[in-house]
A and B are shown apart, each in its own frame.
Chain A
C-alpha cells in the first residue's frame, strides 16, 4: 500500500464514480418507478459485496447467502407486519391484533419469537444479530472442523433448502409460501408513498456505500492480507500460527451481516418478504451477480448486480416468453469471454490505456487472481 489512508487514489475515484452514479445520475435520469427497481437491485448488491469478501478474498464459496438476506428481511418484515396488524386494521379476524396469516391458520396468540419485533430499536439490532449469529454457528461448526471448499458450498446450499422448507412448512408462524405481505408503515411513516420510496432509496444507497468502505477497510487491513494468503495457501497460514478458522468465521459473518442489511432494506422498499429469497435459486443468482461483476472487485459487485438485474427486467418486458434464454445466453457469454467479470475486462483492457494516458501505474493488483484460474 502506497497511500496512508485505507483507500488508494484510484479506489477513491472508483467509489466516487459509483456514488455519483447511484446518488446523482440514476435519481435524475430515471422515473420513480424505475428508481424503486434500482433500489431493489441495490439490496442484492449488499449480498454480492459480501460474496466478494467471502468468496473472492476469503476463498469461501457460499451458495447459501439467501439465508442471511432472508433472515434480515424476515426480521424487518415481522416488525412491519406487526405494525400493520393493529387491532383496528384486523377487526374482521377471529383474533384481532395478530398478523392475518396467523388467523387463517387458527393461531390465536402471537408466538413468543414475534414479541421482540414490537420494538423498532430491538428489530434493528436483530436484523443484524440474528443472521450474523446464525452465520457464526454455521461457520464455527464447519471451519473449526476444517470443512471447506466444495463441501462447504454444498452444506450452505442444503441449509438454504432446509430453511425454505421450514418457513413454508410453518406457515402459521411465518406466512408460508405466500410470505409476509402487505407491509404498510414504519413507526407510523407510510413506506408506500413515492416520497418514502425516494427517501428509502437514498438510505439504501448510503448504507451500501458505507458497506463498500467497510469492505475496502477490511481488504487493506492486515486481516485482508491474511484472507488472501489463506485463499492461496491455507496450510502455510496455519503453520505460521494464525487461527485460520477464526478468520474464516469472521469473513463469513461479515458477508452475512452485509446480506442481512440488504434483506432488511429489501423488505422496506418492496413491502414484502417471501421464502423465494431464501432458497437455493436466489442464492445462486446472487453468486452470479458477483461472478458477472468480477469476484475480486468490490465495486464490480455493484455493477454486476445492476447489469444482471437490468438485463433481467428489460429482457422479460420485451420478450415475456423468451427472456430466460436471453439471460442464459448472457451468463454463458460472460463466463466464456471474461471469466473475471466486468472488473477483469476493465483491468485488462481499460486500465492499461488509462494508465498510459495519466502516466501512472495501477495499484489495484494486490489480491488479483491469475487469469482463468478456477473458482475454487
Chain B
C-alpha cells in the first residue's frame, strides 16, 4: 500500500503540504519565539492529515440516534468538553482542535462507513469514538487499513491490541478480578450466579469470571445464563436465583434490558441490601433509566464513579455540568471518553508530530495526572493502567465508593490462564 494510492493525486492537503514546505525558508526568517510556539505544519504533519497552521481536525464518531444513543451521548459530551478545554488552554502544538461529528446510528456498518469517511475524506488526525464491541470490530479494519488513530472509551472484553487504537476503558481482567476478590473477601461470596446479555463482551467476561471463581477463589458457579440484547423477560432466571440462593448475583446485562431486570428483581421480592449483587455493566447513566430506588444496594465494579472524592474529579464534574446541565450524570465510560482527547494531545506534544506512526510509538508511558479517575498511564499494549473501584448504589442514583484497589492494575488484554 503506497502513500500515493492512499490519498490520490489531487489531494488538496498534499498541495498545502508542498506550500508549507516552500514556506520553510520564510519561516526561518521569522522571530524565533513565534516559530517555537507553533512548529511549521510541514514538519509535524508529513502524511497529509487535516492540519493547518491554526487548526487540527479530529473526528467524533458515536451513535446519537438509535438504541445506543442513550449510552453514547455521554461520551460525545465528554469529548466535546475535553476539546473545548484543550482549546481554551492553547490547543495542540499551537493549533486549535476542530471536530467533525458523525453519527454511527447504532448500526455497525454505518460506523465503518463513517470512519472511512473521516479518514479518507476529512483526513482527521484522530477519531474519538465507538462504544459497543461490535462497532469497534467494524471500524478496526478501516482504521488499520488507512492508518488512523482511534481512542476507544468503553470497558471491553480484551483479546485485542492494535497499533492504531488506544483503549481508554478497562479490559476485562482489570474490571473483573479485583471486584470478585473484594466480594469474596468482604461478603464471603462463594457461589455465584452469572447473568449476561448474549454477545461477546458478557460472554468473555463471564468466562474470565468463572475461571477466577473456580481456580482462585475456591468458589462455584451456581448458574450461567445469557439473554438476547433488548430482552425484557427475566422472570424465569429470577425464579432460579430464588431457588438456588447464590451468595452473589454477578451481572453483565446491558442497555435497556437493565431496566426490566432490576424492576423484576425488586418485584420478585429480592432485596438487594440482603442479596449481594455485583454488576459490571451498570453506571450512573443506566441508573438514570432504571431508577435509583429500584437498584439501591447493588454493587458495581468500575474504575470511575461520579462521586469520587478528589480535586480532579470535582473540577471535572463542575465543568461537565456547567456545559451540559445540572441534571446530567457521568458514568464510567463518559469519564474514559473524556481522557481520549487529553491523552491524544499529550501524545502529540511528546511526539512533536501529528503523524499516526509517531503517535502510536509515543503513546507508551503517557501520563495524565489531571484525570478525573485520579491518575492514568498508557501501557505499551495501548491500554491504560487504572484502579478498580467498587461502589454501592444509593437511592439518589449515585454510588458510594466502598473499595478501591491500592495500586494501578496492569492491563493484560490476553490473560494467560483465563482463555
* A residues whose Cβ falls under 8 Å from a Cβ of B: 31-33, 36-37, 40, 92, 94, 101, 104-106, 165, 168-169, 171, 176-179, 181-184, 192-195, 270-272, 274, 276-277, 313, 316-317, 320-321, 323-324
Contact = CB atoms under 8 A, between A and B. Distances in A.
A272 B112 contact: yes
Which of B117, B121, B133, B134: most chain A Cβ within 10 A?
Answer: B134
B133 to A, nearest CB: 7
A104 B159 contact: yes
A321 B112 contact: no
A276 B108 contact: yes
B102 interface: yes
Contacts of A176: 198-200
Which of A31, A40, A178, A277: most chain B Cβ within 10 A?
Answer: A178
A182 B228 CA distance: 24
Ranked nearest first, the 8 interchain pairs of A and B with the lowest CB-CB distance are: A320-B103, A178-B134, A33-B120, A182-B141, A178-B137, A177-B199, A181-B137, A321-B64
27 contacts: A31-B8, A32-B8, A33-B116, A92-B414, A104-B159, A106-B207, A168-B198, A168-B228, A171-B203, A177-B134, A177-B199, A178-B134, A179-B138, A181-B138, A181-B140, A184-B141, A193-B5, A194-B5, A195-B5, A272-B108, A272-B141, A274-B134, A276-B109, A316-B102, A316-B103, A317-B117, A321-B103
Given A104-B204, A181-B140, A194-B5, 20 more contacts: A31-B121, A92-B414, A104-B159, A168-B199, A169-B198, A176-B198, A176-B200, A177-B134, A178-B134, A178-B137, A179-B108, A184-B141, A270-B109, A270-B112, A270-B113, A272-B108, A272-B141, A316-B103, A317-B102, A324-B105
A323 B134 contact: no
B18 interface: no
A5 to B, nearest CB: 40
B210 to A, nearest CB: 11
B101 A320 contact: yes
A369 B204 CA distance: 55
Interface string B126-150: 0000000110011011000100000
A274 B101 contact: no
Nearest to B207: A106
A177 to B, nearest CB: 5
Contact of A37 (B113, B145, B159, B419): B113
A369 B142 CA distance: 45
Contacts of B110: 316
Given A37-B113, A171-B200, A178 B8 contact: no
B229 interface: yes
Contacts of B1: 193
Interface in B192-212: 198-200, 203-204, 207
Given A316-B105, A320-B64, A321-B65, A274 B138 contact: yes
| B interface residue count range (under 10 / 10 to 19 / 20 to 34 / 35 or more) | 35 or more
A263 B110 CA distance: 16
B107 interface: yes
Contacts of B140: 181-182
Contacts of A165: 228
A184 B1 CA distance: 13
Contacts of B198: 168-169, 171, 176
Nearest to B134: A178
Interface string B218-242: 0000000000110000000000000
Contact of B109 (A33, A101, A195, A272): A272
A271 B137 CA distance: 12
Contacts of A33: 116-117, 120-121
Contacts of A171: 198-200, 203
Nearest to A172: B203
B227 to A, nearest CB: 10
Contacts of B113: 37, 40, 270, 313
A161 B207 CA distance: 28
A166 to B, nearest CB: 11
B408 to A, nearest CB: 25
A272 B138 contact: yes
Contacts of B419: 94
Nearest to A272: B138
Which of B65, B110, B133: most chain A Cβ within 10 A?
Answer: B65
A191 to B, nearest CB: 11
A37 B120 CA distance: 12
A323 B141 contact: no
Which of A101, A179, A320: most chain B Cβ within 10 A?
Answer: A320
Contact of A169 (B112, B145, B207, B228): B228
Contacts of B137: 178-179, 181-182
Contact of A177 (B101, B204, B229): B229
Nearest to A325: B65
A101 B200 CA distance: 9
Nearest to B107: A276
A36 B113 CA distance: 10
Nearest to A176: B199
Nearest to A84: B141
Interface string B343-372: 000000000000000000000000000000
Contacts of B102: 316-317, 320
Nearest to B108: A274
Contacts of A320: 64, 101-103
A101 B204 CA distance: 11
Contact of A178 (B120, B200, B228): B200
A104 B200 contact: yes
A120 to B, nearest CB: 21
A313 B137 CA distance: 21
Nearest to A317: B102
Contacts of A316: 102-103, 105, 110
Contacts of B159: 104
Interface in B7-21: 8
A192 B145 contact: yes
Contacts of B121: 31, 33
A101 B134 CA distance: 12
Contacts of B116: 33, 36
A105 B206 CA distance: 12
Contacts of A179: 108, 134, 137-138
Nearest to A105: B203
Contacts of B207: 106
B38 to A, nearest CB: 30
Contacts of B204: 104
A178 B141 contact: no
A181 B136 CA distance: 10
B14 to A, nearest CB: 14
Contacts of B141: 181-184, 192, 271-272
Contacts of B6: 194
Interface string B169-186: 000000000000000000
Nearest to A33: B120
Contacts of A274: 108-109, 134, 138
A108 to B, nearest CB: 12
B143 to A, nearest CB: 11
